[in-house]
Structure 1
């Protein structure tokens, strides 16, 4: 089978979420990804203390080869330089000072590999006073960008964010940058340095709210008073069986008739109070109460059937356990089978990109620490004697 990124060699020198997720997207489309880890493994191999499966690793290490390399040794740095010299893409989330320590700055590497695409992700960008601050999904993407503050209105306090959301949004941004750089290289023969940050990705994701703030709108004050998602018709409602559903109405004049019929209250169409329903602002308290009460008359299954029957935009508020059993998502390739026999990894979440005429690889388990160390070095032209010396010196580790 032919994949769109067949022949592209990627070096992943990164830990945690965003940069490894970029490599996962590229590997899904056929790129040959080499994951470099220290002898202790990257931070996502560490136990969470509860003895649970390393779910982050299962998701973001698929279809990669692994080499265990000690970069604290000069020979380890030399090996890495040789790998990068023959590769197309280097993905990293190391801080600039760390890249200088290992002599892996872009200007250094481009001298021996002018076609290299150097892709870098940071917490807060490469300029300014926070450039060297460590950044993670929850602080750089959620908290610093205003997104987390905007989540507090439903409960009156800040809700804990879902793990890895910002990492994966940032990964989509950087993967698009890598593809644009590869396109530029195809035209010019030149490599490039591309980058993004958790905070830049988060601000872009929260761009509508930030644009309102730029225009002088007091978003914080509005959130403090908010009791609904949007208008009284675009809101989160509770059903008779105490489930939640989000209903969105964008054109009241057009959708009012469908809404009242879906809710089983056609008499509202003749109610003189709503004769000019396009001016819904005048009726907000009563509308909100009526719609909420009407929705409370139905259980979730029946309500969803009725809303769907009348072509209204809605969704049940799904739990993760419901999402992974969603037949519609399976049919659309959002959830895919792996080739693994691990009970926790027989299914996984695909990346959200589809390209007509090109398949994605079936996900395979990610590598154990150092699982492919010897084979990788052989593929890059290292001799058996050279590899043996590196193992004896503790520069590389081959898992058994």
Structure 2
């Protein structure tokens, strides 16, 4: 097994970002051994520390979102608005291989955290920048969250609902975690370029760009003048074979049958040979034209048996389906544990024993066991010592409320 030291153990990262997308990218770096210093403002720190208390997040005394997104990191509390923070900032940038920011352009300018300013300090720096709506255009300074810039703006929110029902707010972080993987890939590409040229670079992405990429199959059609079907309804879909169905025990499963052979397998599995002879369903085009009729037939049949029956039958006939799992099933899913998607915490606590691993695996390389996320300012003094400050200088910075 390749030792983790051969990967990112010598990589130094400074994370100035808040909330999820930027910090989650540095979490992936930390999973592979990078040293990550998270810089937080004095007082409350990163506002994400308190997000777990907001409904409709699952109720817990355990700050699970913070643990997920900031494991393995060191917390340095630094008042970037203070003139005396400039020297600390310069030393951090000289020490760093990677800096991650998520401030709007105007704030970066005000704080002296633009790429141009930091590249003067360290020409080998990979500066990773994430925004809500991109760095250009009239909305460059607009605050963006994944539910607004990724989920709503991209059209995803409009199409992931049934019929004319109101749009539904998704699980927080869906767009953030996808964007974090993109930012991570941009950082690694920047590091590879540095190996080739010796120079750092400015890499970036945005929540709106990631939302467009997630929706790109249909957006690409729209860009080419395609005609959209309009709002999908489960009872009257455009495709009855790409549709959810309710079982007798009030569970749901999703069919996804893309080929004619799948249609034949479904008819056999459900013991409905009459479907194969019905002229309404003779081919894909006809099944689309009579999708509502087909849904009505399948609804009756699915309601005859519980989920366990349909899983066994469909597995036997190799019908492609997915179970709409509930929360208890997800956290106990053996497939998640078998593939190291859920991994043990190095420091279990508050009843938590496992965490969700980042979704990248490299054969022959082990990830760092996920350690506890830091308390606010827990490592301020240790980080300052790493940057070369002596105890008197550290005491002065603390007394001057530059560092906490």
Fold equivalence (TM over 0.5):
yes
Instruction: Output the TM-score relative to the length of structure 1.
Output: 0.93
Partner of residue 105, structure 1:
114
Counterpart of 2:49 (choices 45, 48, 52) is: 45
1:393 aligns with 2:391: no
CA–CA separation in structure 2 for the residues paired with 1:154 and 1:327: 34
Partner of residue 5, structure 1:
8
Partner of residue 201, structure 1:
210
CA–CA separation in structure 1 for the residues paired with 2:237 and 2:126: 42
Classify 1:314/1:228 alpha carbon distance in 2 versus 1 (closer, same or farther; 3 Å). Answer: farther
SS in 2 for 1:292: helix
Question: Could you give the per-residue CA deviations for residues 158-207 of structure 1, whole angstroms, max 9, x where no partner exists?
Answer: 11222110111111111110010011001111100011111111011011
Contact 2:40 2:78 in 1 (8 A): yes
- Residues 335-374 of structure 1 aligned to structure 2 (within 5 Å): 335-374=342-381
- Residues 82-231 of structure 1 aligned to structure 2 (within 5 Å): 82-154=91-163, 156-219=165-228, 222-223=230-231, 227=235, 231=239
CA–CA separation in structure 1 for the residues paired with 2:344 and 2:212: 34
Instruction: Output the TM-score relative to the length of structure 2.
Output: 0.92
Partner of residue 244, structure 1:
252
CA–CA separation in structure 2 for the residues paired with 1:284 and 1:201: 32
Cα displacement (A) at 1:289: 2.4
Cα displacement (A) at 1:14: 1.1
Classify 1:226/1:244 alpha carbon distance in 2 versus 1 (closer, same or farther; 3 Å). Answer: closer
Question: Could you give the per-residue CA deviations for residues 52-101 of structure 1, whole angstroms, max 9, x where no partner exists?
Answer: 43332111010111111121211223202211111100001011222212
Contact 1:58 1:345 in 2 (8 A): no
Question: Could you give the per-residue CA deviations for residues 308-334 of structure 1, whole angstroms, max 9, x where no partner exists?
Answer: 222222111112332111011111111
Classify 1:146/1:233 alpha carbon distance in 2 versus 1 (closer, same or farther; 3 Å). Answer: same
Question: Could you give the per-residue CA deviations for residues 274-323 of structure 1, whole angstroms, max 9, x where no partner exists?
Answer: 79445534653443222222222221112112112222221111123321
Partner of residue 15, structure 1:
18
CA–CA separation in structure 1 for the residues paired with 2:288 and 2:16: 54
Cα displacement (A) at 1:241: 0.6
Worse-superposed segment, 199-208 or 96-105: 96-105
SS in 2 for 1:36: strand
Contact 1:239 1:295 in 2 (8 A): yes
Partner of residue 284, structure 1:
291
CA–CA separation in structure 2 for the residues paired with 1:321 and 1:281: 35
Worse-superposed segment, 115-124 or 156-165: 156-165
Cα displacement (A) at 1:267: 5.5
1:375 aligns with 2:378: no
CA–CA separation in structure 1 for the residues paired with 2:162 and 2:200: 46
Question: Could you give the per-residue CA deviations for residues 361-380 of structure 1, whole angstroms, max 9, x where no partner exists?
Answer: 11111100111111111122
SS in 1 for 2:346: coil
Which consecutive residues of structure 1, in runs of 5 or more, have no partner in the other structure? none
Contact 1:33 1:64 in 2 (8 A): yes
Question: Could you give the per-residue CA deviations for residues 326-363 of structure 1, whole angstroms, max 9, x where no partner exists?
Answer: 01111111111102231353211111110011111111
Alignment length (residue pairs): 394
Cα displacement (A) at 1:46: 2.6
CA–CA separation in structure 1 for the residues paired with 2:12 and 2:403: 20
Partner of residue 32, structure 2:
29
Classify 1:367/1:212 alpha carbon distance in 2 versus 1 (closer, same or farther; 3 Å). Answer: same
CA–CA separation in structure 2 for the residues paired with 1:223 and 1:286: 18
Which consecutive residues of structure 2, in runs of 5 or more, have no partner in the other structure? none
Classify 1:344/1:198 alpha carbon distance in 2 versus 1 (closer, same or farther; 3 Å). Answer: farther
CA–CA separation in structure 2 for the residues paired with 1:181 and 1:161: 32
Cα displacement (A) at 1:265: 3.0
